[in-house]
Amino acid sequence: MMKKLFVFTACCLSLNGFSQNRDYLVKNNGDTIWGPIKLKHNLFYVSSEPPLEINVDDVSKIKCEQFKGHTVFHSNLLLYADNLADLELDFIKKGVVDTVLILDEIYSTPKINLYFAMSDFKIPFYFYKTPNDPKPVQLVVRYYLQGGLDNYTNDRARYRGDKSKVMIVEDKGYVNQLQAIMGDCKKIPETMWELLSYRDYSLKQVIKKYNKCK
């Protein structure tokens, strides 16, 4: 009786463990692969039967407890720094890295979708995708320092008063990107473009306005 009970309990635990793992990925050809997933060196390792190694470029979607998002993004990511200690005076650092991100779709509309990802250094990145885009496109932002006593000494006419103070300047490349898409939409006032910030609530507002245009 004890032996039968042990076998039954072991089977229940095995089935319970299998049912709890609902990780899967969807390949570009539509195939769905089930099993625990790990990402390493641009490869997804799936503990399926048999175990598989799948190139990230062959995968469109993923559902895994390790990642918050579902959309697989492999491209050259344009880096930026938002930490004051990492910024330089009158100089924009333009780093690029080949990487894989799992994007979280945070806003979906008929005309444009908004995605979000956080780097290992807790730096936020936003992406958009229109029906004409084959994959999400990065919204670009960069920061640099401006002003300072050295600039004031060299060009007092330009850096007098408050401009003699060192301040953080935002290079809003993402505004130009979205204006190229939404510029014909009269429902988006000029003040909204001027106040647009690299934040999800601000980006959602302009996308919402854009979807009201025909």
Question: Contact at 8 Å (CB) between 143 and 81?
Answer: yes
Q: E-strand spans in 9-95?
A: 24-27, 32-34, 37-40, 43-46, 52-55, 59-63, 71-78
Q: Pinpoint the alpha helices (H) of 127-186.
A: 149-154, 173-182
Q: Are strands 32-34 and 24-27 parallel, antiparallel or unpaired?
A: antiparallel
Q: What is the pLDDT of residue 196?
A: 96
> pLDDT tens digits, residue range 34-66?
999 999 989 999 998 888 999 999 999 999 988
Helix (H, G, I), strand (E, B) or coil at 39: strand
Q: What is the pLDDT of residue 15?
A: 40
pLDDT above 70 as % of the chain: 76
Q: Phi/psi at 79 (nearest 5 deg)?
A: -85, 160
Alpha-carbon span 88 to 56, nearest angstrom = 35
Question: Model-level pTM?
Answer: 0.79
Res. 19: pLDDT tops 90: no
137 pLDDT band, cuts 50/70/90, is very high
Q: What angle do CA 84, 90, 94 make, to 5 degrees?
A: 75
For domain 20-67, the CATH architecture is: Roll (2.30)
Res. 13: pLDDT tops 50: no
Q: What is the pLDDT of residue 164?
A: 54
Q: What is the pLDDT of residue 71?
A: 96
Alpha-carbon span 66 to 72, nearest angstrom = 13
Alpha-carbon span 202 to 90, nearest angstrom = 27
Is pLDDT larger for residue 10 or for residue 133? 133
Is pLDDT larger for residue 52 or for residue 81? 52
Q: Phi/psi at 210 (nearest 5 deg)?
A: -60, -35
Question: Contact at 8 Å (CB) between 104 and 69?
Answer: yes
Domain ranges in the chain? Answer: 20-67, 70-101+141-214
Q: Which of 18-22, 46-50, 174-178, 192-196 has the lowest mean pLDDT?
A: 18-22
Question: In the predicted model, what is the mean pLDDT of residues 61-74?
Answer: 92
> pLDDT tens digits, residue range 143-183?
888 765 444 445 545 555 555 566 778 889 999 999 999 98
Q: What is the pLDDT of residue 95?
A: 84
